[in-house]
Amino acid sequence: MTFNSAHLGRIEVDESSTIEFPRGLPGFEDRHRFLLMHHPANEGLVFLQSLETPDLCFLALPARSIRDDYQLAIPDEDLEVLGYPHGHCPEIGKDVIALAVLSLVEGESPTANLLSPVIIQTHTRRAVQAIRTDDRYRCREPLVVEEAVCS
């Protein structure tokens, strides 16, 4: 099927590349289906396009591309959503993808949310925004923008 995104134009949606947030995201609790797409000019950047709201789209970067030693700390209730037992620690890259949502407010330095990474289970494509309960990373972690991203 095709989908008309307010930001990305007409896009082809392959059902197998959609992801599902059973509980939505904080602030968007009733949005459940998203499409994960790579930016063609910058492979690291990904778009999270809502398939229910054409003008809802997030830009994100893999957490480990911002902090190469990024460690997960997923609360039990979020592990349940992903289908893991309590206390389990899935591996980034193997079991899950961990993305940091970017905020690009005009006139401000871009920031990445490393406090609440979007965790996608790579096999089931179920996802959750897992809010850490420690203070190891910040919600507005300053981002060094490469020239290629700005141009």
Partner 1 sequence: MLVIRRHSGDAISVGDEVEIEIIECGVNRVKLGIRAPQHISVLRREVKLTRDQNLAAAQSMSGAARPGMLAPFAGGKPS
Q: Does 136 bind partner 1 (CB under 8 A)?
A: no
Query: Which residue among 23, 56, 73, 80 contacts partner 1 (CB under 8 A)?
Result: 56
Which amino acid, residue 106?
Answer: E
The CA distances from residue 101 to 3, 62, 87, 91, in Å, are 22, 9, 24, 19
For residue 83, the one-letter residue type is G
CB closer to partner 1 out of 28 and 84:
28
- Would you give the binding string for partner 1 spanning residues 63-82, x where CB under 8 A is met? --------------------
- DSSP state letters, 103-131: E--TTS--EEEEEEEEEEETTT-BEEE--
Least separation, in Å, of the C-beta of 1 and partner 1? 12
Rounded CA gap, 22 and 87, in Å? 20
Contact between 40 and partner 1 per CB under 8 A: yes
Structure tokens, 6? 């307010």
Residues pairing with 128 in the sheet: 119
Nearer to partner 1 (CB atom), residue 31 or residue 67? 31
Per rule CB under 8 A, is residue 102 in the interface with partner 1? yes
From the list 64-72, 79-87, 88-96, 125-133, the region that binds partner 1 by CB under 8 A is 125-133
- One of 55, 68, 91, 147 touching partner 1 (CB under 8 A): 55
Helix, coil or strand: residue 20: strand
Q: How many CB atoms lie within 10 A of CB 91?
A: 8
Residue numbers at the binding site for partner 1 (CB under 8 A): 6-9, 11-14, 17, 25-28, 35-41, 46-47, 55-59, 101-106, 113, 115-116, 129, 131-133, 139-140, 149-151
